[in-house]
Amino acid sequence: MRAELGAELGAEQPETIAAIVAAHRAGTLTPAETIARTYRRIRDHNDPAIFISLRDEKDAVAEAEKLAARTDAAGLPLYGVPVAVKDNIDALGFPTTAACPAFSFTPAHDSTAVARLRAAGAIVIGKTNLDQFATGLVGVRSPYGIPRNSIRDDLVPGGSSSGSAVAVGAGLVPLSLGTDTAGSGRVPAMLNNIVGLKPSLGMISNAGLVPACRTLDCISVFALTVDDAALALSVMAGPDAADPFSRDRPLGAITPFPTGFRLGVPRKGQLIFFGDKKAEAAYADALQRWTVLGAELVEFDLEPFYETARLLYEGPWVAERYLVIKDLLASAPDAIHPVTREITAAGARLTAADTFSALYRLQGLRKIAERTFAKIDALVLPTAPTAYTTAQVLANPIELNSRLGTYTNFVNLLDLCGLALPASMRADGIPFGITLLAPAGRDAMLASIGRVFHADTKLSLGAKGVAQAPLAALPASSGDEIPIAVVGAHLSGMALNGELTALDAKLIEATKTAPDYKLFALRTTPPKPGLLRVEAGKGAAIELEIWSLSSSAFGKFVNAIPAPMAIGTVRLADGRSVKGFLVEPEVLRDARDITAYGGWRAYMKEAAAKQVS
For residue 150, indicate whether it is catalytic.
no
Cα separation, 167 vs 456, in Å, equals 24
Sign of the torsion formed by the C-alpha atoms of 54, 181, 133 and 193: positive
CA 53 to the chain's CA centroid: 22
Eight-class DSSP state of 351: -
| Angle between helical axes of 226-236 and 443-457 (0-180°, round to 10) | 160
Sign of the torsion formed by the C-alpha atoms of 84, 87, 89 and 95: positive
Three-class SS state of 164: helix
Eight-class DSSP state of 96: B
**DSSP β-bridge partners for residue 577:** 571
Three-class SS state of 86: strand
**Do the beta carbons of residue 175 and residue 163 sit within 8 Å?**
no
Q: How far is CA 158 from CA 41, 155, 187, 344, 483, in A?
A: 21, 8, 6, 20, 42
- Residue of 238, 288, 290, 268 whose CA lies nearest to 454: 290
* Active-site position among 184, 220, 246, 577: 184
Query: Residue 484 carries which side chain, given as an amino acid letter?
Result: I
- Counting every residue written for the chain, the total comes to 613
Query: Residue 325 carries which side chain, given as an amino acid letter?
Result: I
Beta carbons within 10 angstroms of residue 391's beta carbon: 10
For residue 538, indicate whether it is catalytic.
no
The beta-carbon contacts of 367-371 under 8 Å, at least 24 apart in sequence, are 368/304, 369/304, 369/305, 369/308, 369/414, 369/416, 369/439, 370/439
* Active-site position among 160, 164, 176, 200: 160
Cα separation, 155 vs 47, in Å, equals 15
Q: What is the DSSP string of 550-587?
A: EHHHHHHHHHTPPTTEEEEEEEBTTS-EEEEEEE-GGG
For residue 220, indicate whether it is catalytic.
no
**DSSP β-bridge partners for residue 592:** 521
Task: List active site positions.
Answer: 86, 160, 184
